[in-house]
Chains A and B, each alone.
Chain A
Amino acid sequence: MFSNNGNAQIIPIEKSYEWVRGIRLGCDISRFGLPIIQKGRNATEFSIDTELKRNFYPTFEAGFENSTVNNDRITYKSNGIYGRLGFDYNILKRDDPTNRNAFLVGIRYGFSASKQTTNWNIEGNYWGKAPEGSSSDIMGTHWMELAVGLKVEVLQNLFLGWSIRERILFSSTKVNNYSYAIPGFGNGANNSNLGMNYSIYYSIPIKKVKVVEKIIKK
């Protein structure tokens, strides 16, 4: 094709390249630091995602979390599993189309099921001790999560990434305000929690996808 408006020539160029579609498996290594920040909390989280279309990444994350608080006034235990389903979208413009680094914004629907057990002793006063109290609940929680972060290919198929998450509670079957740790969501006393992930990923190459781009060059 050729056209001329009198001042410039417009030349369409066809450019093709290949990018590798893979299934990316991840592990959130920041969870291993959780017991240092909050003694008694242990969690493990894995993720799976794929670049289904260019810049569009459906994502599933799942994990389990155990939390314990134990002192002379209270014993609290929370055990549960959680999952998050959603997608990320890359907003980073890539000069090199085969570059797989990404600056991602995303959204998730999160859900968890946990058992929350609390036993407590109340300080005595002039009259003596108080009765001991206890509660045990199965709790289901649903939330929405907004995510922003980076994923960088540090070696071939090996990625490092972080994301900051704002978790907004939809609903919970909580019957009290002392659900200290809802797996995947955080402090159950809050309607929203800020969280962070730092993950390592390995992308299993599945298929090379050939893309033909038409570039109009003046």
Chain B
Amino acid sequence: MIGRLLSSVLFAISAVFIGSCSSDKSCTENMTSTMNTGFYYWSKLNGTISLKDSFVSGIIIRGINQTDSFFYNTGTDKSFKKISLSLPQLNDTALFIVNLNSIWMDTLHITYKRKSVFVNYNCGFRSEFTLDSAWFSAHPKDSIKITQRYVSTSIQENCKIILFRDFGVQQ
């Protein structure tokens, strides 16, 4: 008798549960992996050399062979401590023309490996990258340093661009 009662109750609960389920098909995840890059400069103060944050305005960045569109064109009224760059998904090399306030103009080379990473069944897959190397054409090799090779949707900094002086205005 108790068994029959329990069985009936459970059947009713199951029916309510089934009826209340819905499948939401929208993707709420961030699907774009970006290489987070911060600006720094070497500060000499009282004989001590240390790496300090730099805030840069007038940033213009364009991908090579992407003539029609700028990646960044910030204007000069606002300064930035960091930028986020997305990487080509069909190649293993990215080339950016970087113009920082018309003082630092150079081509940034980045080499990397890409892989497809499953997120979930609403969002599908996204590209994530492992950085191999980064350098500027004209500036010294140590003017860019990779600090975190794995590029995903994390906000963690991947690269430091180390400027020869602080030419930004801190805001």
Contact = CB atoms under 8 A, between A and B. Distances in A.
Answer yes or no: are A and B bound together in one complex.
Answer: yes
A69 B89 contact: no
B150 to A, nearest CB: 17
Contacts of B71: 126
Contacts of B121: 69, 74, 76, 178, 180
B89 A130 contact: yes
A128 B118 contact: no
Nearest to A103: B3
Contact of A162 (B7, B25, B118, B125): B7
- Chain A's interface size range is 35 or more
Interface stretch (B10-18, B51-59, B75-83, B138-146): B10-18
Interface residues of B, number: 34
A101 interface: yes
A126 B86 contact: yes
B3 A92 contact: yes
A152 B124 contact: no
Contact of A125 (B21, B25, B86, B116): B86
Contacts of B111: none
A181 to B, nearest CB: 10
Interface of B: 3-4, 6-7, 10-11, 14, 18-19, 21, 23, 25, 27, 31-32, 63, 66, 69, 71, 86-90, 94, 116, 118, 121-127
Interface in A90-146: 92, 101-103, 120-131, 133
B27 A125 contact: no
A129 B91 CA distance: 11
Contact of A129 (B6, B19, B89): B89
Contacts of B63: 126-127
A8 interface: no
B4 A121 contact: no
A103 B6 CA distance: 11
Interface string A62-99: 00000001010110100000000000000010000000
A38 B23 contact: yes
B31 A123 contact: yes
Given A36-B19, A151-B3, A198-B14, 9 more contacts: A33-B14, A36-B18, A73-B27, A76-B121, A101-B4, A127-B90, A150-B6, A154-B4, A176-B118
A198 to B, nearest CB: 6
B116 A36 contact: no
**3 nearest CB pairs, A to B:** A73-B124, A130-B89, A127-B88
Contact of B88 (A128, A161, A162): A128
A82 to B, nearest CB: 21
A216 to B, nearest CB: 28
A177 interface: yes
A98 B156 CA distance: 69
A202 to B, nearest CB: 16
B4 A152 contact: yes
Contacts of B127: 122, 130
Contacts of A130: 89-90, 116, 127
Nearest to B15: A33
A121 B119 CA distance: 12
B3 A152 contact: yes
A196 interface: yes
Nearest to B71: A126
A133 B125 contact: yes
A59 B130 CA distance: 50
B86 to A, nearest CB: 4
A126 to B, nearest CB: 5
A212 interface: no
A37 interface: yes
